[in-house]
Every structure is written in structure tokens, then in C-alpha cells.
Amino acid sequence: MGSIDDLGELRGKRVLVRSDLNVPLDGATITDDGRVRASVPTIKQLADAGARVVVTAHLGRPKGAPDPAYTLEPVAERLGELLGQDVAFATDTVGASAHETVEALEDGQVAVLENVRFNEGETSKDDDVRGSFADQLAQLADAFVSDGFGVVHRKQASVYDVALRLPSAMGGLVAREIEVLRRLTVDPERPYVVVLGGSKVSDKLGVIDSLLEKADKLLIGGGMVFTFLKAQGHEVGKSLLEDDQLDACRRYLDQAVERGVEIVLPTDIVVDTAFPSDDREPQPVVVPASEIPADSLGLDIGPDSAAAFVAALADARTVFWNGPMGVFETAAFADGTRAVAEALTKVTSSGGLSVVGGGDSAAAVRTLGFDEAAFGHISTGGGASLEFLEGKELPGVAVLER
């Protein structure tokens, strides 16, 4: 699998970089720039080598047509601030503005193309439609660098097809992600503890199947825990519940016993009678996990559960964490997530490997004020991380290995 060094002399060459700049926006304000910051090292490496860097990325889920709500312009501005240089912005993906912007670049300069998903060819299931768009992207460059780990599990034009059309290499961010995730799947240092949260069991079926064969302990919190509690016969009130996954949860609990994997579920839950909103003050109440009132919903693991999770992580040498323990955006329901994050920093400081599996977990780390350097690795791709751990082929990686 080629690295940037394998592309040879870059000075004067146009290098198309697929980055992951899919950041949350409040209007034109970026509320979490973690993915932009993660993209900087590879872009800077190319610019410092004299390349004319053309960045392509997506934001949100526009319907294959321009939508001002999803413009990358504020992201391009933030990228320029982080790079310490002006970043040009093309107002289309492969049209007149893109060509004019790229042609105007000088050695070491950077441009960002408008949201690649404004073109229906990016995500088309039709190979010919997708390939036609990839042809247009390839006309803008002499080489391609894949550095958007959050999208390498997608067979999309700017991720997969363009790599078939240009000399291609893996960027530093993707290379680091693959290196770390392989440490979680190939002979991990033990004890190996996995912490899963987030809203749905159905989102993590494959990774649970895989990790039950590798992990020593599996700690489960977040919204998905209520399906496990219901599978054990407990009532969960108005909590998030996937009735169609109850059998799967029972199967996982049985398999864990058979394989000697310890599954740790919360023994207490922080509940409220309504989901957090601006219209009312939170009214958190701690109840036993087996006694959630019918008029309440669980919004965090309780203090006893948080302490049990911390204890289960105390001697870990390898930890993978994907999904918050509760609605961490609201202070009243953030303690469980904070406790897990703090425990992971201690794993790191003791010489172990702690991996934060992207998405909401990475956002929680930043929202709760943790130093990102206190973790072994913070992934930029939640879905891609999970699919890698499931053992699935990632098209955006496989194409670079051809």
C-alpha cells in the first residue's frame, strides 16, 4: 500500500486529497473542528513538499445537488486558519469554478472544492455514473491521496473510483487509523476491554459478534443498554428500545458466558420523565436498573455503574470505546461518559492503548474538556472503525492495495 513518499517528486504537481471535513455546523459556525484539525498534517505535508493541493470532502447528506446549508465554505476558512495560509475555495465540485481555482494554484498552495455530494455521481450505485464523476475529478489532478478515514468504508467516487484513475497513496491519517485498529484485532495486549454505548444495538451487531471472540470484558451503556436490560426481563419505561433485537441481546449474553467474556451492564440508571430540551430544567433521578419507572427514560448510567465501569477498566492494557454512556451534551447526564473517558486516560498514562472510536465518543471527549493527547488514539471514523473491527473489507482501503 503506497505512502505519499511513493508518489515521488510533488513540487508543481496537482494532488487531489480526499479528506473528512464532515463537521457539525450551527449555521455557519463549526461547533467541533476535530476532523478539520485531523486533516491538517497530511495537507501540510503535501503543501510543504510543493504540491498544489486540491481538497475534496463532503458535509452532511445533501441530495446530490447544491444546498447552501451544507456548503464547505466555512470549513475551508477554518482549514486556512489552522494551516496559517490562505485557502482558495471553489464554489462547485468539477465545474468552471473548480477548474479556475485549481489552475490558479501555485506550488504549496491549497484549495478546497465545494461539497462533493452536491454531485449525484459521488454516491451513485451505478458504476458508470459514479465513474463519470470520478473522471471529472481526476482531470483536476496528477495524483490522489486518500486521507478521509471516515469514508473509506464507502464505495464512492471521491473515495474509491478516483483511486483507479490516478497514481494513489494513503495519507498519514488513514495509515495511522489502520495501524491502531490492527492492534485491536491482531494479538491485542490483555486484558482487552471494549466499551460500547450510543443509541442502538442494531448499529453494533457485527462488531459485538466479532469482539465477543477477542475481548476479555464488554461494558455496555448508552441507549443500547435498555434492549439488553429488557432482554433480561426488566422493564425500561420510556427508554430507547429495539424490540426486534431482544433475541440478539439474549444470544450475546449466552455467548459471553460460553466464551468466558465478562459483560458488564449498569446496575443503576439516571432517568428523567422527558428528554433534555431548552424548555425545561433536567430533573435527574437515580434508580436501580431493574426499577425504571414507567413514565421515565434512561439518560445515563448511574454513579454505581460508572464506578463499576471504572473498576473494570483499571487493569486494562487495551481499550476500545465507541459510543457515549448517556446524553453527555447535557451536564446532568454526562457523568457516566466523563467517568469512562477519565478511566481511558489512566490506561494511556500507565502505558496501555486506549482507542476512542470516533463519532459521538470523540465529540464527547472534546465537549467534556479532555486533552486529546491523553488518549492513545481518537478515531475520525466511527462507522469505518466498526466495520474494520467486524472484519469487513473497506473499499477505500482495498483500492489502494490493488
Whether residue 200 lies in the annotated active site: yes
Which of these is catalytic: 131, 250, 383, 392?
383
Whether residue 381 lies in the annotated active site: no
Which of these is catalytic: 35, 217, 230, 238?
35
Pairing of strands 262-264, 217-220: parallel
Whether residue 383 lies in the annotated active site: yes
Q: Is residue 128 packed enough to be buried (19+ CB in 10 Å), middle (13-18) or exposed (0-12)?
A: exposed
Do the Cβ atoms of 134 and 157 come closer than 8 Å?
yes
Whether residue 197 lies in the annotated active site: no
Per the DSSP assignment, residues forming a β-bridge with 142 are none
Which three-class secondary structure state does DSSP give residue 209? helix
Binding site, annotated residues for ATP:
204, 298, 329, 358-361
Binding site, annotated residues for substrate:
20-22, 35, 58-61, 117, 154
Cell of 12: 508543481
Which of these is catalytic: 221, 359, 376, 381?
359
Nearest to 320 by CA among 182, 223, 150, 199: 182
Which of these is catalytic: 155, 165, 183, 200?
200
Side-chain half-sphere CA neighbours of 362 within 13 A: 23
Which residue matches cell numbers 459478534? 209
Which residues are catalytically annotated?
Answer: 35, 200, 359, 383
